[in-house]
């Protein structure tokens, strides 16, 4: 008979106990030669119990995650699987924000877009352009004398520089765009210039601005409108009439809060 067949249990010695006073189980065996050994199943059982303990400790640690660390992990994972590289409203310090660095797949938030456009105009040293938000619209208001000669719709060199900057930047974002031409209420003298009414002039000017956008690569749909002096009464009556007329002669580039459709510039084709 082999040594393994003649194994026997070692009797429990009550004097042997651990620090908590528990008696050590008598699972240690000794063979015929007197050598002590532990059953193989006990080693496997111990490994399984250790793994299960580790598993439940991990479950407990993840049951109530710290929100700040969880948000950091989520943002890190999102940046690897999405086109955007940063959270909304948190694209870096304001002096580092640049519209050239963004690649959004949807329309940008108008507050964030306002910061981008403002910084862009400041970097290019472009002045006299007003930017303000009106509900779900961001309006970039460009005075007519910055773009056109009096009574004309052809954009001058100074105006092209401004529109090349704006058009190139807006071609990167998905927000829907409308271009609205305005005029003052002074009637056009018959036989003076190419246009007989302020409505025709305001519409032609908005079309000219849209054409510049198309030249710089803006390939999505643009709505153009000419409203003549329809918005003149919205200006404060406390302003001098000359100031009101200057403000009413303008072209508004209106950025909507939605994305619209990625189509060709149907208004000019």
Q: What's residue 81's pLDDT?
A: 56
Maximum distance among all alpha carbons in the chain?
Answer: 128
Q: Does residue 127 sit within a domain?
A: yes
Question: Cβ-count burial of 29 within 10 angstroms (0-12 exposed, 13-18 middle, 19+ buried)?
Answer: middle
| Sole residue written with tokens 């310090």 | 93
Instruction: Please give the Cα distance from 258 to 267 (Å, whole number).
Output: 19
Residue 35 domain-assigned (yes or no): yes
Contact 212, 164 (CB under 8 A): yes
Task: Give me the percent of the chain exceeding a pLDDT of 90.
Answer: 33
Whether 170 and 236 map to the same domain: the answer is yes
145 and 207 housed in the same domain: yes
- Same domain? For 195 and 253 the reply is yes
The verdict on 179 and 241 lying in the same domain is yes
Instruction: Give the 3-state secondary structure of residue 118.
Output: helix
Q: Last residue of some domain: 43, 63, 83?
A: 63
Q: How many residues are listed for the chain in this entry?
A: 269
| Domain ranges, residue 14 | 4-63
242: pLDDT strictly greater than 80:
yes
Among residues 46, 63, 80, the one where a domain terminates is 63
pLDDT of 17 > 70? The answer is no
Residue the block writes with tokens 């072209």: 251
Mean of the pLDDT values across residues 136-156?
92
- More confident of the two residues 100 and 165: 165
Buried b (16+ CB within 10 A) or exposed e, 52-66: eeeeeeeeeeeeeee
d(C-alpha 192, C-alpha 245), whole Å: 19
- Answer yes or no: do 27 and 105 share one domain: no
Residues 175 and 242 in one domain: yes
Q: Cβ contacts of residue 38 below 8 Å, gap of 6+? A: 27, 28, 29
> Is residue 69, in this structure, part of any structural domain at all?
no
pTM of the model: 0.58
User: What does the pLDDT average to over 185-195?
Assistant: 75
Q: Are 50 and 133 in a shared domain?
A: no
Task: Please indicate, yes or no, whether residues 176 and 223 belong to a single structural domain of this protein.
Answer: yes
Q: What does 19-55 look like in DSSP terms, one character per residue?
A: TT-PBPPS--EE-TTS-EE--HHHHHHHHHHHHHHHH
How many folded domains does the chain comprise? 2
Considering the domain architecture, whether residues 18 and 102 belong to the same structural domain is answered as: no
- pLDDT above 90 for 236: no
36-77 tens-digit pLDDT:
666 777 778 888 899 999 988 888 777 766 777 777 777 777
Same domain flag for 105 and 226? yes
- 96 located within any domain: yes
Residue 79, in any domain of the structure: no
Q: Which two tokens stand for residue 181?
A: 């031409």
Number of H helices, E strands in the chain: 7, 8
Say whether both 112 and 172 belong to one domain.
Answer: yes
Q: Are residues 263 and 143 in the same domain?
A: yes
The 10s digit of each residue's pLDDT in 28-45 is: 666 666 666 667 777 788
């Amino acid at each position: 008979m082999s040594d393994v067949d003649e194994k026997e249990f070692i009797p429990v010695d009550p004097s042997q106990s651990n620090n908590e006073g528990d008696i050590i189980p008598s699972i240690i065996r000794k063979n015929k030669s007197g050598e002590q050994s532990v059953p193989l199943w006990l080693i496997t059982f111990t490994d399984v119990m250790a793994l299960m303990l580790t598993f439940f400790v991990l479950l407990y640690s993840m049951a109530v995650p710290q929100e700040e660390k969880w948000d950091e992990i989520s943002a890190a994972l999102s940046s690897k699987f999405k086109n955007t590289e940063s959270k909304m409203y948190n694209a870096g310090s304001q002096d580092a924000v640049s519209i050239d660095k963004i690649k959004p797949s949807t329309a940008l938030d108008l507050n964030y877009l306002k910061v981008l456009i403002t910084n862009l105009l400041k970097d290019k040293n472009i002045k006299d352009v007003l930017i303000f938000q009106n509900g779900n619209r961001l309006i970039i208001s460009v005075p007519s004398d910055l773009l056109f000669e009096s009574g004309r719709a052809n954009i001058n060199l100074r105006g092209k520089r401004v529109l090349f900057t704006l058009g190139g930047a807006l071609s990167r974002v998905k927000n829907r765009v409308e271009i609205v031409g305005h005029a003052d209420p002074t009637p056009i003298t018959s036989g003076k210039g190419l246009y007989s009414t302020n409505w025709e002039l305001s519409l032609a000017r908005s079309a000219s601005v849209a054409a510049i956008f198309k030249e710089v690569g803006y390939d999505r749909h643009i709505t153009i409108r000419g409203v003549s002096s329809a918005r003149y009464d919205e200006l404060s009556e406390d302003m001098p009439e000359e100031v009101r007329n200057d403000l009413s002669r303008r072209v508004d580039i209106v950025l909507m809060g939605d994305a619209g459709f990625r189509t060709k510039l149907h208004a000019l084709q």
